[in-house]
Structure 1
């Protein structure tokens, strides 16, 4: 006893000290509020076109669904959305910055001279002129200039190769989850450049997140470097839609990838949709036909959107768990509404603030996380959550009893 008792006491003291100074587990957030919200009623009936295919959803909220067989079909000039998206990704611009001046090559001039008599979408440029990146993007998006789309593709690559740029387009399509999309040219004139409405909605969502793309997409017209006014082929901009792009060829029919907005529950929601393969009664590719289809889909989507109050400011929605058995409640810092439509169920999630972890100690009122309401994708409604009471470290007893 005389030998072992001091040793045991020493071990107990060492154990207690080690337990007390061990790094604490990282606190985590746990949702205690309901994890889903359902909107009463049946799913709204969308005015889907009787031919071709279509798809439509709301950023961060959910999908209205699709129509037609979602199989790859020619998409015409909607291909240019990927071209512009890539240029802005790899050569980013700030709002108000025209960007670098791009030399106009002989190929771009010749394309204009041969394309204009053939009624191809081109804008006038002359070899030796310099066009800013911003204006080049306007030319591709608004009057749908094939010659400028190809010029940008050549300018982007070190080898001055359109094929190299097309390879990048296909790589990016895979990254965006566009499983049924394949590009063979940067303008969409090739009928072998194909996609689906569902895939194009994914691209439209990603592209509209870029502020400069979003800005250009909303423009009804611009004046080019020759002083000529160039109009946006998408006639619903800016009164009904906020963009994105039309595309019409004999092989593709009439096509539109579109974006529209509606303010619901105090926040602006963005509808993204696509309608492909519209020909009309006479069987001829028809931009008016697809424009009518698009307007009806936008109006139906806007009409279906509604808000439902689910949490009031100050309501407990979760807790901070310290990893040692203790917890502290967190509350919503503002009223929270779920946005959706009849028949839709949306998810509630509680997550850390971007780039920040939950602290071990903090005063009451400190924002420690974000409550999101939607489909778990970008664009969901987000509201900060804060500590209801002071957050303190676990006590000595909790530290002493922890295992592992």
Structure 2
């Protein structure tokens, strides 16, 4: 290698001076390749903008710089060949050149952006005796000609470089910026580089925001609740009694001629009990028991109107019992046939014990089974103090009370065939002839039954019924006299019971009357719409009740044939008012006193059920 070549290779080029200046400005032995390239490109841009002073570098100068870069690169990669590479680079200045660039590359302008709060600081470069500075060729790259024939004469030496303007030192923090952000950008103010949380909100503002949120939720819930309340079905209207639920007839208690012996009771059917007397304890009832026998037969084999019923054939036992002298009986012969109605006449008019036993065997096969039916029927009627042991009542173990017998009489007198039979003083039965009733007061006005009974244990007894006409309608009075047993024969005891019954019948017929309980136009109740609304209702006519002085009757109102509507005009009939109970109950229509309207928005919204 010539001395001239060594001198040229050892001379620092303009690129190397720029690289050394960049490294010294950063305070490190070796910079990042991207930072060196950016500084080099920026320096070239400055020179291009200033223009040539004393002449532009020719091709030869550029070739020499390229050869020098190649030599430096080779020396870095292979230290042993560094000397030979230097000589080759020097010879290349004399022998060849390269094309000048056809365009000037400028670094792109990067907009100012915020720096991230977190900064990544690269590790400090190691420096030591063995470290070597990077050459410009390594950092900036090596130019390789595209074709071998692009060899031109070496240019004249380039003039000395113009002194560079002093550059503003780059802070160390900027040199450690995130890759992709230019290092030359100035740092942002400290307030933008921190992630300090905002100051806490004031309590008043927090409370106001919570009030807004909860107010919205509450309003939404109220709207939903209101809609749900409005679409719910309305409760059914109901009639409620507002008048006094009871009415007491004027005057003192009715004066009844109660007998001095035995026990008994009198009542007006469907109205109430006029009164009772005696012990009201179970006692033998003799043939009065045949009323339950007839009741069971008619329950198992109903008859009405002109019906005669099934055929019943008399057996040998019925014929044998028809000749007994110690009990009442009906004439019968074996094989003789009777209709069901005829058998009931033989049972109730002459009070035939053999007829009672024959009916029991016909209905239940045995007398014992029929007695079980009698006791079951008594239980169903609420006759809690009654016990039946035979179908005829001949046994003294068949016992009952006056009030229990009135329950039975009220039930059995609903059958028209039975009422017809017990009101007959006498009857004519084919094959038997005329039969007579022991109840002699059947011929008295209004008396209509029911059954006599007498025996040594029972004394004289009569279960009776009588009618009275009140306000053009017939009303039934029923009563019983039991245990007429002070003195005399059995026939006398029975006659005393019958006469005592007649006295009671006449007193009851006289004392029972009617009175106006509800007048037309009286407010007796209201329609309750279920949500607090009330519409008064009035009686559409006078309502009279059956009773006697001192009697207390019950009032009630209820719906008629149709259900009470949710809305209706004034005067619409919505039900009836009633006085009394059972068959003696009387009623009158009730109507709206004013228009009935459906519940409004307020009651619907505030309903809880």
Q: TM-score, normalised by structure 1?
A: 0.87
1:2-401 alignment runs, 5 A limit? 14-112=224-322, 114-115=323-324, 118=325, 120-157=327-364, 160-226=365-431, 228-240=433-445, 241-279=447-485, 281-282=487-488, 284-286=490-492, 287-353=494-560, 357-360=563-566, 367-374=573-580, 377-388=581-592, 391-401=596-606
CA shift, 1:66, in A, is 1.6
Q: 1:212 to 1:384 in 2, by over 3 A?
A: farther
Instruction: Provide the C-alpha distance between the structure 1 equivalents of 2:226 and 2:416, rounded to a whole number of angstroms.
Output: 56
User: Contact between 2:545 and 2:586, CA under 8 Å: does it hold in 1?
Assistant: no
State the Cα distance separating 1:397 from its structure 2 match.
4.4
Residue 337 of structure 1 and its aligned partner are, at CA, apart by 1.8
* Cα distance in 2, alignment partners of residues 289 and 11 from structure 1: 84
* Alpha-carbon distance in structure 2 between the residues aligned to 1:129 and 1:18: 79
| Shift of residue 390, structure 1, vs aligned partner | 5.6
Kindly state the Cα deviation for residue 310 of structure 1 after the two structures are TM-superposed. Answer: 2.3
2: CA distance between counterparts of 1:367 and 1:111? 63
Instruction: Measure the CA separation in 2 of the matches of 1:367 and 1:39.
Output: 28
Q: Could you tell me whether the CA contact under 8 Å between 1:372 and 1:383 is conserved in 2? A: yes
Distance 1:10 1:103 in 2: 86
Tell me, in whole angstroms, the C-alpha distance in 2 between the residues paired with 1:154 and 1:95.
Answer: 25
SS of the counterpart of 2:441? coil
More helix by share: 2
State whether residues 31 and 350 of structure 1, in contact with CA within 8 Å, keep that contact through their aligned partners in structure 2.
yes
SS in 1 for 2:406: helix
CA apart distance, 1:392: 4.9
Gaps of 5+ in 1: none
Which structure is richer in relative contact order (CA contacts within 8 A, separation 6 or more)? Answer: 1
Cα 1:401–1:259, aligned 2, differ >3 Å: closer, same or farther?
same
Report the alpha carbon displacement of residue 185 of structure 1 after superposing the two structures with TM.
Answer: 0.6
Provide TM-score, normalisation by structure 2: 0.60
User: How far 1:249 moved relative to its partner?
Assistant: 1.5
Task: Give the Cα separation in 1 of the matches to 2:562 and 2:308.
Answer: 35
Q: Provide the C-alpha distance between the structure 1 equivalents of 2:330 and 2:453, rounded to a whole number of angstroms.
A: 16
Question: Where does structure 2 lack aligned partners over 5 or more consecutive residues?
Answer: 1-208
Deviations 1:206-226 (A, max 9, x none): 222233322322223322232
Task: Label 1:307 to 1:297 Cα distance change in 2 as closer, same or farther (>3 A).
Answer: same
Residues 143 and 363 (structure 1), Cα distance of their counterparts in 2 relative to 1, 3 Å cut: farther
**Distance change (3 Å), C-alpha of 1:223 and 1:32:** same
Task: Tell me how far apart the structure 1 counterparts of residues 563 and 354 of structure 2 sit (CA, whole Å).
Answer: 49
Structure 1 or 2: more strand by fraction: 1
C-alpha separation in 1, matches of 2:537 and 2:234: 20
Residue 394 to residue 148, structure 1, CA distance change in 2 (3 Å): farther
In 2, the alpha carbon distance for the partners of 1:252 and 1:163 equals 22
Cα RMSD after superposing both structures: 2.7
Structure 1 or 2, whichever has the larger Rg, is: 2
Secondary structure, counterpart of 1:34 in structure 2: coil
- Secondary structure, aligned partner of 1:379: helix
Is the Cα–Cα contact under 8 Å of residues 290 and 356 in structure 2 kept in the other structure? yes
Deviation digits for residues 86-109 of structure 1 (CA, Å, limit 9, x no counterpart): 222232222222222233333323
Question: C-alpha displacement at 1:233, in angstroms?
Answer: 2.1
